[in-house]
Structure 1
Amino acid sequence: MHWASRLAALVLAAALGCSAFAQGAGGTAAGAPEPTVAELRNRLDRIPSAVDTNAEVADQIAQINAIAAQADKFVASRTGRLNDLNARLGELGNPPPAGTAPEDPDITRQRAALQKERNALDADIRLARLITVDAQQRGSEMIAKRRQLFEAQLTERAPSPLGRQFWFEIADAWPEDVDRLAGLRDEIVAGVDAAADPAHRVSVLVSLGAALLLALLGNWAAEYGLVRLAARVLPPGRLRRSLLVIAVVAVNVLLVALAAHGVFSTLDRHGILGPQIRKLGQAVVQSIIFIAFVVALGRALLSIRRPSWRLPPIPDGMARRLAPFPWLTAVIAVLVWVPSQVNAIVDASFAAVVATHVVTALALTALIGTMLLRLHEPAGGAAAVATAADGTQPPAEPERPLWVSFLLSAVALAVVVIWVLVGLGYVALASFLANQLTWTGIVASAFYLLFKFADDLFMATVSSKSNFGQKLQKSFGFAPRTLDQAAVALSGLARVALFFYMLIALATPLGTGPDEVFQRSGQFGTGLKVGEFTLVPGAIFAAVAVLATGFLALRVFKKWLELRYLPQTALEPGMQSSITTLLGYVGGVVVIAIALSALGIGIERIAWVASALSVGIGFGLQAIVQNFISGLILLAERPVKVGDWVVLGTAEGDVRRINVRATEIQLADRSTLIVPNSEFITKTVRNMTLANAEGRVLIRLPMPLTTDARRARELMLAACADHAGVLEAPAPSVSLEGIENGMLILQAIAFVQSPRLAGGVRSDLLFDILDRFKEAALPLASPVTVVSQTEGVVPPPPPASPLPV
């Protein structure tokens, strides 16, 4: 098991910022000459294809990766020169055809020299790229062989620790293992003596002191400063809590890694480390980083001192019971890992390797079993029982969810299975399962933190309740529900991406390390073919980004047109609204087409899908398509526009909005009538404000035959002239329509700015006219018959058929 290497893979995949501490494969030394293509090919061909142990496979994979990296570097360093040569040849042009005037000999020689250099450089680049492809294939073969070797070792049965043969083999191999450890012991003693030498003592002590101060005092100061900074800079909420936890974990690991690497570099620089001690020192450095990561992660998630900052829903009593386990997990994992490294360094016996597997399986399962027992203890343990004996009720912990109970039962069952495997002699498989079980808990804890952070980040920045979300509402006019939906969608997308990397860290094949984790991640990133369509994760995120950016830019442009540009033109408000709506439809189609292109779906695929759906569109979606086309015609021809007063059958009201499928009409009672767009195209519609937006007020008053008609006419004209809502042009008029049933019929006609004002103006004029007649002692006929009409200038058409429901 490679704890520190897996830790590096997890931290890099989870973006915790600690990948710099992973030990990379060797490359070209600084200052060394760059190898040629022939040298790289020879080095790749000299790597043997037959391997016997996992160590040989790991070494060959490191060599193959180094050769591939150097080949990529070779191609990158010469691609620019090749582009320059192609550009210069393009400037010189092609040689003149035969039979034409010859060109300058200097140009011919220059073209030949450039062509020769260009062909040689292009050939080297092609060969280097071929080396990269061959190296990748060889690497995949080596990984497959490594997996086969590891699986064979897992299924191999060793003597059971419950039998005598297990202990007899350890006793027989003990003298040889002690002799093998003697060389390592001698190197350690020699290293200690060299470190105690006056020439190195001061540097070693200073580096040790600085490392302790950085790891202990530095971590305390950094954590205290982060807490103060978060409380001062970040607003209260979940984002501050999760971001602080990530910052504390990252800073702790960073400081401890710097301290450990500093001590290792000092010892290595002074020549204190021997060959075996150097390998063991690298393992110790990685172990220290692993301890720092696990302890910082556990402390941050449990938050014993700050319960309000705790991310998981763990009661205080349970958190206190689990407080020692981050330390125990890190220490036990390192204690069972270091012996395996020592076995590899000194080439220990098979009995020692089997014993290491047994200790690893038993120690890790004992740790997991103890943790399960602590989870089932009552709140407060013995103290709670004593408190209950005194007559007080201890605080009850919340009921555990059902899925948590199932999960704990599965872990307990796995522990029992591992013990059975150890008893049967399958110690390698038992050790691997124990390692994977522990590693799964660490990975799940780390990604739980990242899941929480992703959710808190988008909820605190995009949702309608956040400050940034409120600014988006004011700037772009987003609805609160739209922002909340966007926050949930972005959070879900981020969690899916994190879940993918978590599966890469958990579900890698048996016997793989971080190199294959990243290789599998890269292969998945290049595309997953489903049928004839290649699904690329990067393309999915690019398409989502194009959609978000495109619709945001479209909304900004529409807002600019609506508020800044169109009001400065001579266009009517209805025409401005039509232009904005039509632009929204066209822009939306363009943005979706670009997003589909980013996803890898070309226009020809969209046309194929559209042709496949043509039959369904022709039958099932005929009405929808008809209304959509009618909506486009309404926006283009503008027989009806936003703000018009229309009469459609028995319905009459203002056009408020023209949508893709239907038009919204606000009636006089403030209700909204939804009318399909096709109704405006296929049926008779009376537009009261199409050609002339003025409204007409018509009042007919019956008066006795003895009435002074001229005086009555003057009073009615004066009432119309005194009203502020009556237009001066066309001027109001009063005419004598005739005699009906022995009464004079006087008719007054006045014009107002809009038909919507006609009703109110008519009422005001009637009140005023009646008052004036009363003052002038002009009697009205009894009973009085008042006929009034409010309409547009265009005479009303015959009644249309009622609207279909």
Structure 2
Amino acid sequence: MRSRLLDRFARALACVLVAMCLAGTAMAQAPARDAAETAKPELDQIEAMLERRLTSDELTAVRRRLDPVRDQLAAALAEVEPRLAEARDRLSQLGAAPAANAPPEAPEAKQQREEQTKAVAEIDVRVRGLKVQQVRADQVAARIVERRRQLFTAQLFQRSTSVVDPRFWSELSAAIPRVLRGTRFLASDWWDHLARNVGAARLAVAGIVSLAAMAGLIVLYRILRRHGLYAPPADTPPSRLSMVLSDIRVAAERSLVLPALVGVGLGIAANFELILPRGQTLIPQAIITAAVVIAFTRGVLQGALAPGVPAYRLIALPDAFAEAVYHAMRQIAWIIAIYILLMSFAQVIIAPVAATVLIASLTALAIATVGVNFLRGTTERDEPEVEGEDKSAPKPAASQPWAWTRPALWLAIAVIIGALFAGYTALAAFIATHVAGAVVIFAGTVMVLVLLDALIAEWFGATTVRGRSVAASIGIKPDRLDLLGTLLGGILHVAVIVGSVLAAFGATIDDAVLGFRLGDAQALALTVAIAGCVLAIGFLLLRAVQRWIRDKVLPRTGMDAGLQNSVSTIFNYAGVALVIAIALRQLGLDLSNIAIVAGALSVGIGFGLQSIVSNFVSGLILLAERPIRVGDSIVVKGEEGYVRKISVRSTEIETFERATVILPNADLISGVVKNWTHSNTMGRVAIPVRVAYDSDPELVREELMKAACENRLVIQEPPPRVFLMRFADLGLDFELRCIVKNVDYSLTVRSELQLAILSRFRAKGIIIAPPIQPPQNATPAG
């Protein structure tokens, strides 16, 4: 009776739990159903909008409208998918239905299985619906990106009439009256706006407020000057961190003051509605942008280059060169600011195409002219010949700072001039402005990187006061904190560099790099060029990262030199494979197809490359198993020396004669190699000595032991030993055997011991008989 009651109670409890699970499932399905039903009409409207011709700003607005839909779908899937997995687990716990010939199951269990199966099916349908809408949203996003790429490419490579073509000047002469008429209309509309909407009273109040603001700013400026604004730094910075902080202060002061002043004036104008609505692109947008360009360029370059203050310079440049860069970039900043204002003004008055082409052409030409003057002004001339000077004597080569940038700048100027002559005015202006922007961003990046290095050296250094304090508070050794700081600095460096690259390319980085669609031939050439750039940049970054790991990270890990070399080499080859894979991916090549082709060709070329493959595999074994390490003293095939480098094909050995022997790795794996320092660096030295028969054997043994025990390079555990080897024809043969700390010093120890033995034997009157044989080489310990 009691068992039946317990059974009924258990079944009732199970039904209640199933009902609660189904209720929770239904509640989980509600937001998923709402997300799918809401996303469908929104995506329909967005797809309908993409059927029209949209501008770049309109495409950006559509993308902003799409992003919340994608986020909503992702959130709904993240909520429903775990419920689907839980429902399937519960269904699997109930088990499969019994077979037809099996005993029937309880009605409650059958009902639970049916209800759970239905719940799984319903959730699965919802999940599939959400995934369908999510794939659709991703496809719409890809279409928007592709449209932006195409539009960017079309605008950038749009060809107009060249400035050297007479037709351009005829078009410009016809456009001048339209420009003047648009200017008069703008001035008339602005005057009407001020007279009708503002009035004389508000204009008077705006003037009074402006004067009051000007007076307040002057007072504030004097107060800030007394408290250190624009204060010159000390002659010599007390530390690297203080130097960087001083440069950042200078950069911030020069970058913020002018935009703040301009912003106050524009704010007053906007508050009193002095700005014409259709002139918003010119005032305040273009004016504040121009002010930011001028101030930011001046501030960043003055902070990084520190013209006139070499002690605070973050980039190693001579004074004249740093000042030339600073003045050239300030001129370019003013040119770009004027370009922004003129293009905004042309947009407001709806100027003809010829006017905008003229503005862009003059801007590109002005920037190119500044670049040419800079390159010519910083070219180092040969010093004049001195009378009586030997002309045949070689002159020291002049050190040219950042010499590798000069060909790049000449090439950029040539491309700008060529694009102007060919009619690609937008491309010329784009290259000119972005090269100048890249210089400013580079200076700012250097400032941030130096600040990170100074902060990490101060707070994570093993020898600094703050570093030891941080290590003690965390509970780790200072050298481990130094390693942690090095790794953290590397991660932050990568993040800053990636952010700088994205900033240099602008907000449309995907459009600028991946969006060129100029026909099949141009697309193929550009794809190959981009892949080459990816390959070159990847190898440069890989080389820098490998040098950082080899020189900074690995020495702090406590690994021996051989293991450090193995880790560095394996990282290098893995990085090379990754860079090549990325470049091939950029070319559109599928790595699986390449693997198939390589497998098909491997049969034919296997015999010809058998030795290379053997050396490659042997190199991998050497790097992984490490029977031979960098720094080991080995003897192989009659060659003895130190291992200097182990690569995947060969190993370099430096002999005692300072010659380099390159051995294939297969010889080191399959041949016999004597490694003096495989397990340790100790080695045994054996010195044979023959004395006359009338010598005292105990005295001879005592003097040999004293000579060995007094040598600083001979270890005393195990202790030196002296053996009477034989009774020879000409005397008694003794042999002194001892262990040296480092086998590299075996010849030095042998020489010192022999000199000490000779001196002691002469002092004690022990006669040394004719020698036995030439000295033997040292043998490994043990």
TM band (smaller chain): 0.5 to 0.7
Partner of 2:690: 700
Task: Please report how far the alpha carbon of residue 75 of structure 1 lies from its aligned counterpart in structure 2 after TM superposition.
Answer: 2.5
Local SS of the residue matching 1:103: helix
The alpha carbon displacement at 1:698 in A equals 3.2
TM-score (norm 1): 0.56
- The more displaced of 289-298 and 233-242 is 233-242
Deviation at 1:112, TM superposition (A): 3.5
SS at 1:120's partner residue? Answer: helix
AA paired with 1:288?
A: I
Secondary structure of 2:349's aligned partner: helix
Among 348, 368, 374, the alignment partner of 1:342 is 348
Call closer, same or farther: CA 1:133–1:499 in 2, change over 3 Å. same
Taking every aligned residue pair, what percent have the same amino acid on both sides? Answer: 11
Q: 2:49 aligns with which of 36, 40, 47?
A: 47
Specify whether residues 342 and 104 from structure 1 end up closer, same or farther in structure 2 by C-alpha distance, changes over 3 A only: same
2:764 maps to 1:772: yes
Residue 43 of structure 1 aligns to which amino acid in structure 2?
A: Q
In 1, the alpha carbon distance for the partners of 2:348 and 2:674 equals: 92
Equivalents in 2 of 1:159, 1:789: separation in Å? 96
Post-superposition Cα deviations, 1:512-571, rounded to whole Å, max 9, x if no partner, equal xx6x665344769xx99769x9997999899779867876898258x4355xxxxxxxxx
Shift of 1:737: 2.9
**Aligned equivalents of 2:734 and 2:364: distance in 1?**
101
- Whole-angstrom distance in 2 between the partners of 1:535 and 1:402: 17
**Structure 1 contact 702–785 (Cα < 8 Å) conserved:** no
**Structure 1 residues 73-101: Cα deviation after superposition (integer angstroms, max 9, x where no partner):** 33233232233323432442446323264
Larger-gyration structure (1/2)? 1
User: Cα–Cα, structure 1 residues 560 and 301, in superposed 2: closer, same or farther, change >3 Å?
Assistant: closer
Cα distance in 1 for residues equivalent to 2:327 and 2:335: 14
Deviates more, 1:674-683 or 1:87-96: 674-683
Task: Find the residue that maps to 2:294 and give its secondary structure.
Answer: helix
Tell me what 2:25 maps to: none
Offset at residue 292 of structure 1 (A): 0.8
Distance verdict in 2 for CA 1:106–1:659, change over 3 Å? closer
Q: What is aligned with 1:4? A: none
Whether the 8 Å contact between 1:44 and 1:135 is mirrored in structure 2 is: no
Say whether the 8 Å CA contact 1:658–1:664 is kept in structure 2: yes
Check 1:522–1:118 CA distance in 2 against 1; reply closer, same or farther (3 A cut).
Answer: farther
Q: 1:672 to 1:519 in 2, by over 3 A?
A: closer
Equivalent in the alignment of 2:293: 294
The match for 1:280 is 279
Whichever residue aligns with residue 37 of structure 1, its letter is A
Per-residue deviation, residues 313-367 of structure 1 (Å, max 9, x unmatched)? 87899899989956864674355334434335xxxxxxx6479659857986997
Match runs of 1:86-235 below 5 Å:
86-94=84-92, 96-99=95-98, 101=105, 103=109, 105=111, 109=115, 112-113=118-119, 115-117=121-123, 119-134=125-140, 136-137=142-143, 140-141=146-147, 144=150, 154=160, 166=174, 185-193=191-199, 196=202, 224=229, 228=233, 235=240
Distance 1:334 1:134, change over 3 A: closer
Q: Tell me how far 1:286 sits from its aligned partner.
A: 1.4
Deviations 1:747-792 (A, max 9, x none): 4444434576555445434443444348xxxxx79xx645476558
SS at match of 1:560: coil
Change (3 A) 1:315 1:241: farther
Tell me the secondary structure at the aligned position of residue 88 of structure 1: helix
Q: How far off is 1:447 after superposition? A: 1.5
Residues 260 and 731 (structure 1), Cα distance of their counterparts in 2 relative to 1, 3 Å cut: same
Give the drift of 1:296. Answer: 1.9
CA displacement at 1:123 relative to structure 2: 1.2
2:562 is equivalent to residue 581 of structure 1: yes
- Length-normalised TM-score, structure 2: 0.57
User: In the alignment, what sits opposite 2:521?
Assistant: none
- Say whether the 8 Å CA contact 2:644–2:653 is kept in structure 1: yes
The offset of 1:36, in angstroms, is 1.9
Q: For residues 444-455 of structure 1, what are the structure 2 equivalents within 5 Å?
A: 444-452=435-443
Whole-Å separation in 2 of the counterparts to 1:46 and 1:460? 50
Alignment of 1:689-728 (within 5 A): 694-702=684-692, 709=694, 712-713=696-697, 715-717=699-701, 719-720=703-704, 723=707, 725=709
Any gaps of 5 or more consecutive residues in structure 1? Answer: 1-32, 345-351, 380-397, 419-428, 506-513, 563-579, 704-708, 775-779, 795-805
The Cα of 1:196 is off from its aligned counterpart by: 2.8
Does 1:65 find its partner at 2:57?
A: no
- State the alpha-carbon separation in 1 of the partners of residues 625 and 130 from structure 2: 64
Matched AA of 1:89: A
Residues matched between the structures, number: 643
CA distance in 2, matches of 1:630, 1:149: 55
For the structure 1 residues 544 and 119, does the alpha-carbon distance in structure 2 shift closer, same or farther, using more than 3 Å as the test?
farther
SS at match of 2:756: helix
Is 2:731 the partner of 1:745? yes
Which residue of structure 1 lines up, in the alignment, with residue 434 of structure 2? 443
Q: 2:109 and 2:306 mapped to 1: Cα distance?
A: 86
- Choose which of 78, 81, 86 in structure 2 pairs with 1:80: 78
Structure 2 unmatched ranges of 5 or more: 1-34, 100-104, 379-399, 464-477, 517-523, 583-590, 711-715, 741-745
Deviations 1:542-601 (A, max 9, x none): 9779867876898258x4355xxxxxxxxxxxxxxxxx7368537743674477458757
| CA drift at 1:666 | 6.9
Gap change, CA 1:204 and 1:665, over 3 Å in 2: closer
Say which SS state the counterpart of residue 98 (structure 2) adopts: coil
1:392-415 Cα shifts (integer Å, max 9, x gaps):
xxxxxx9x9999899889988998
Structure 2 CA distance for aligned equivalents of residues 359 and 671 of structure 1: 66
Q: Which amino acid aligns with 1:764?
A: A
| 1:47 positional shift | 3.0
Local SS of the residue matching 2:566: helix
Distance 2:539 2:409 in 1: 33
2:472 equivalent in structure 1: none
Counterpart in the other structure of 1:519: 511
Distance 1:262 1:184, change over 3 A: closer
RMSD between aligned residues: 7.1
